[in-house]
């Protein structure tokens, strides 16, 4: 497709910054660039009709790491690295709340609870015994001790008699958050073009060439914020896609469950929303199949989610599933995001793991901080 004179002049000429990906990271990067360079010409490109990946498909958890997740992280990272990563998640959520306001993102602070299955008593005891140690490690992040044991407040079955509660974790409305970010970009004069798939990025002398499926254009600097899809453009980086499958029930009368919940080292997670239960996870049942950029769901994971829903979360209730979907995350051997220059004019902010909501705002700002006009 050849661009008309008007198309090229209006959208693709004299572009200072191009952001690839209109998710949490990409839009926060665009807003930070506009703040840093108010007169700059910024363009956001999105391959889908809505943000692809996970930004509009996640569960809306404002989470920082459960006890079992942190213990798993400490097997591969130092105490300082884990504390710094949790600090980034905390800072990211605070930045998002300050940027848009709690009402605009549907933020609610109900705390989160980690559940432990009956068949893993030793693991449960290990986590309970670690509360004091992790509270000491995390107190510098939150200003108080975040973890405390709690009784089975919501009548779940087939779990240990106590949860571990994180008092600072909350939840938000993913759709509201993304609509607010999009509106803020548009009101700041930042165009977002949908249905534009970038196939390659080329480094030129003082610029980058953005090659899309149908045309190409020049940009002084380019920022890749496609997370789980980033390996298509960034061959040198260690990023793997990770599909997360989710379901949501029909409305449930007198639903008493409120808050966010995790179990099995964070591989399963559920919450209340609009008198429904949103439940996702199970990637650990079939890591190889879920390492994909293809959306969809599988019988093995959906059957497990339904079994846990009926046997643990909402026992003795006849609940119906209204909708199923999936999102694509970006993961790697390390939990920390990759925010760095790829060349003189190409930069990336990717590999947010399962903490994209918490990290995205901060990673977007850090990505924008790499810009230098």
202-232, pLDDT tens digit by residue? 999 899 999 999 999 999 999 999 998 998 8
Instruction: Summarize pLDDT for 322-346 with one digit per residue, the tens.
Output: 999 999 999 998 888 999 999 999 9
Residues 221, 256, single domain; the answer is: no
Residues 180, 326, single domain; the answer is no
**286-313 pLDDT, tens digit each:** 999 999 999 999 999 999 999 999 999 9
Q: Is residue 361 part of a domain?
A: yes
Determine, yes or no, domain membership for 162: no
Choose among 75, 66, 80: nearest CA to 112.
66
Cα–Cα distance, 331 to 230 (Å, whole number): 11
pLDDT score of 93 more than 90: yes
Q: Is the pLDDT of residue 75 over 90?
A: yes
Q: Is residue 137 part of a domain?
A: no
Q: Domain check: are 181 and 324 in the same one?
A: no
Q: Are residues 359 and 229 in the same domain?
A: yes
Please check whether residue 193 lies inside any domain of the structure.
yes
- CA distances to 20, 44, 173, 192 from 195, in Å: 12, 11, 25, 10
CA distance 304 to 211: 42
Mind listing the pLDDT tens digit for each residue in 275-286? 999 999 999 999
Q: CATH number, domain at 273? A: 3.30.9.10
Residue 102 domain flag: no
**Number of other CB atoms surrounding residue 119 within 10 Å:** 9
Q: Which residues of 36-65 are buried (b: 16+ CB within 10 A; e: fewer)?
A: eeeebbbbbbbbeeebbbbbbbbbbbbbbb
Report yes or no on 144 lying in a domain. Answer: no
Cβ pair 224, 21 in contact under 8 A: yes
Query: For the whole model, what pTM was predicted?
Result: 0.95
Kindly state whether residues 346 and 306 are assigned to the same domain: no
Total domains present in the chain: 2
For residue 276, what are the β-bridge partners? Answer: 273
Do 184 and 318 lie in one domain? The reply is no
Q: Do 309 and 354 belong to one domain?
A: no
- Residue 236 scores a pLDDT above 80: no
Is residue 37, in this structure, part of any structural domain at all? yes
Residue ranges making up the domain that contains 285: 240-331
- The reply to whether 214 and 294 lie within a common domain is no
CATH number of the domain within which 43 lies: 3.50.50.60
Residue 301: name the closest of 273, 279, 276, 329 by CA. Answer: 279
- Is residue 126 domain-resident? no
Longest alpha-carbon distance in the chain: 68
Residue 47 has pLDDT above 90, yes or no: yes
Q: Are strands 162-166 and 147-151 parallel, antiparallel or unpaired?
A: antiparallel
Q: Are residues 319 and 266 in the same domain?
A: yes
340 and 223, same structural domain? Answer: yes
Give dist(CA 204, CA 179) in Å, integer: 35
Same domain, yes or no, for 327 and 179?
no
Same domain, 199 and 246: no
The overall average pLDDT reported for the chain is: 96
């Amino acid at each position: 497709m050849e661009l008309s004179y008007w198309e090229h002049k209006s959208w693709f000429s004299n572009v200072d910054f191009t952001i690839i990906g209109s998710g949490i990271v990409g839009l926060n990067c665009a807003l930070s660039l506009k703040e840093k360079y108010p007169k700059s010409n910024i363009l956001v490109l999105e391959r889908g009709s809505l943000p692809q990946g996970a930004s509009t498909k996640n569960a809306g958890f404002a989470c920082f790491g459960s006890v079992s997740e942190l213990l798993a992280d400490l097997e591969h990272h130092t105490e300082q690295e884990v504390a710094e990563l949790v600090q980034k998640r905390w800072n990211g959520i605070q930045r998002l709340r300050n940027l848009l306001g709690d009402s605009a993102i549907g933020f609610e602070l109900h705390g989160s609870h980690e559940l432990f299955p009956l068949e893993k008593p030793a693991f449960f005891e290990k986590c309970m015994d670690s509360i004091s140690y992790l509270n000491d490690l995390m107190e510098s992040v939150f200003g108080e001790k975040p973890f405390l044991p709690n009784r089975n407040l919501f009548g779940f079955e087939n779990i240990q008699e106590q949860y571990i509660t994180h008092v600072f974790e909350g939840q938000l409305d993913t759709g509201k958050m993304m609509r607010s970010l999009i509106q803020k970009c548009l009101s700041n004069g930042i165009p977002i073009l949908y249905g534009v798939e970038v196939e390659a990025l080329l480094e030129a002398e003082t610029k980058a060439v953005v090659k899309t499926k149908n045309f190409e254009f020049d940009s002084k600097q380019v920022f890749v914020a496609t997370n789980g899809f980033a390996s298509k453009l960034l061959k040198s980086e260690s990023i793997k896609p990770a599909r997360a499958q989710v379901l949501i029930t029909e409305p449930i009368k007198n639903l008493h469950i409120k808050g966010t919940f995790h179990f099995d080292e964070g591989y399963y997670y559920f919450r209340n929303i609009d008198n429904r239960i949103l439940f996702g996870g199970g990637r650990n049942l079939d890591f190889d199949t879920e390492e994909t950029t293809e959306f969809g769901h599988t019988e093995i994971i959906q059957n497990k989610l339904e079994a846990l829903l009926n046997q643990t979360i909402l026992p003795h209730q006849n609940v119906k599933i209204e909708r199923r979907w999936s999102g694509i995350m970006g993961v790697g051997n390390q939990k920390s995001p990759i925010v760095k220059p790829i060349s003189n004019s190409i930069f990336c902010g990717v590999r947010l793991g399962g903490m994209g909501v918490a990290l995205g705002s901060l990673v977007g700002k850090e990505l924008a901080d790499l810009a230098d006009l």
